[in-house]
Amino acid sequence: MSFQAPKGTFDWMPPRSEWALIVRDALSAPARRAGYEYIETPAFEDTGLFSRGVGESTDIVSKEMYTFQSRGGQSLTLRPEGTASVVRAVIEHGLYGGALPIKLWYSGSYFRYEKAQAGRYRHFSQVGAEALGAEDPALDAELIVLAADGYASLGLKNVRLLLNSLGCKECRPAYRAALQDFLRGLDLDDATRQRIEINPLRVLDDKRPEVQAQLVNAPLVTDHLCGACKAYHEEVRGLLTSAGLTYTDDPKLVRGLDYYTRTTFEFLHDGLGAQSAVGGGGRYDGLSEMIGGPPLPSVGWALGVDRTVLAMEAEGLLAERARHIDVFAIPLGEEAKRRIFPLVGKLRRAGVSVDMAFGGRGVKGAMKAADRSGARYALILGERDLEAEAVQLKDLASGEQTAVPLAEIVATLKEKLTT
């Protein structure tokens, strides 16, 4: 009997797996430099957290959650997204009583029972950042700039930014009603008609061409913003421009989670086919109260690690191996192995990355392993070298080989590897 990774999941395998680490690091680095601190929450939560926080009518909650019963009979759900958990933790630990905003970042696995396809998985990985407890357009702009900086630091050139405002609890109801009026007059199927009554904004997100064609003249949220929301949005736009970011206003950008208010944004990459969103986020001023907390106006984003790697691939940025070792040690014989073993440890402690030949496959096999490892140098120790207290240092690119005294090899290699 053999097993395979479940449908919609995949394994990060070397050497490509190194890119997942690099992307995770690069996407979180700008936020860390901006004072965001690390938070780690459980991979599963009380189901109610997501149904209340993310929203009953969203695809995520209605169709995509991995929900199970604990042995004690509690309904638990594998987290489909990160924000609700972070807000839950901030409320539970009373962080809102201290300095605001609370700035947090995280990274981990998320689970959605989606139709599996290229770039859309049932188990995927995100880096997220949230700034809680402040209503300040500069905070929305800061987060957007930090995400853009993350993509740019990876060398990505074709990431586009879409921007919108969804209004607030003052102006959204009137817009919602106007949109419902418009949508009720269209030729739509029953499921979509139901959606008009529960969550009309989500209809704007319908990808089907026959639906999109009917939406051309739909009322736009940006035409219905109250004075405060309009001013807030203009301030965010101005700050982004002042930071040198270009963006496209997209009044139909609603995103698939119910908790968003005011600023919403999405980063797209055009080399990814249908699943073009590499990240997104927005402001969620009401979420804390929705899950039983105090008023806590907040903004955040989640960036997809898997899709960012795919975007890099589409731009040809993965052509080179992300990482390889510097030195491959090859002992010829048992005595040589006993001598080279502590030397390998010493080199590693000196900051050199070193692997060695294991399994006694003979010189030929060992040289092959050295080539495959991507190392710049092979360190070969034979019987005659042992007598001479020396080791052969072979440049694997040029084939050039020199004997170096064992006592000097650490210093020699360190010097060669820094040039």
Among 302, 310, 347, 381, the residue binding ligand AMP under the rule CB under 6 A is 302
**340 near ligand AMP (CB under 6 A):** no
State the amino acid at position 225 in one-letter form.
Answer: L
Contact 349/375 with Cβ under 8 angstroms? Answer: no
Among 105, 106, 124, 247, the residue binding ligand AMP under the rule CB under 6 A is 124
Tokens of 73: 């009979």
**200 near ligand AMP (CB under 6 A):** no
**313 near ligand AMP (CB under 6 A):** no
CA distance 246 to 359: 56
**77 near ligand AMP (CB under 6 A):** no
Among 24, 52, 88, 112, the residue binding ligand AMP under the rule CB under 6 A is 112
Among 16, 120, 252, 323, the residue binding ligand AMP under the rule CB under 6 A is 120
Across 113-124, b (16+ Cβ under 10 Å) vs e yields: ebeeeebbbbbb
Where does this chain touch ligand AMP (CB under 6 A) — which range of 96-104, 118-126, 369-377, 409-417?
118-126
Work out how close the CB of 311 gets to ligand AMP at its nearest, in angstroms, rounded to a whole number: 9
Q: Using the minimum distance from each CB to ligand AMP, give the nearer residue, 279 or 331.
A: 279
CA distance 312 to 335: 46
Where does this chain touch ligand AMP (CB under 6 A) — which range of 139-147, 176-184, 300-308, 395-403?
300-308
Work out how close the CB of 45 gets to ligand AMP at its nearest, in angstroms, rounded to a whole number: 15
**160 near ligand AMP (CB under 6 A):** no
Q: Using the minimum distance from each CB to ligand AMP, give the nearer residue, 114 or 206.
A: 114
Contact 321/15 with Cβ under 8 angstroms? Answer: yes
The β-bridge relationship of strands 37-38 and 102-111 is: parallel
Contacts of 186 (CB under 8 A, 6+ apart): 214, 215
Across 27-49, b (16+ Cβ under 10 Å) vs e yields: bbbbbeebebeebebeebbebeb
Applying CB under 6 A, the site for ligand AMP has a residue count of: 16
Among 55, 101, 137, 279, the residue binding ligand AMP under the rule CB under 6 A is 279
Radius of gyration of the chain (CA): 27
Give the number of other CB atoms < 10 A from CB of residue 241.
12
Give the number of other CB atoms < 10 A from CB of residue 267.
27
CA distance 67 to 129: 25
Among 25, 59, 114, 313, the residue binding ligand AMP under the rule CB under 6 A is 114
Where does this chain touch ligand AMP (CB under 6 A) — which range of 40-48, 68-76, 148-156, 303-311?
303-311
Q: Which of residues 227-256 bind ligand AMP (CB under 6 A)?
A: 256
Across 195-229, b (16+ Cβ under 10 Å) vs e yields: bbeebbbbbbbeeeeebeebbeebbbbbebbbeeb
Among 19, 36, 54, 81, the residue binding ligand AMP under the rule CB under 6 A is 81
Q: Using the minimum distance from each CB to ligand AMP, give the nearer residue, 146 or 302.
A: 302
Residues that bind ligand AMP in the complex, under the rule CB under 6 A: 81, 112, 114, 120-121, 124, 126, 256, 277-280, 302, 304, 306-307
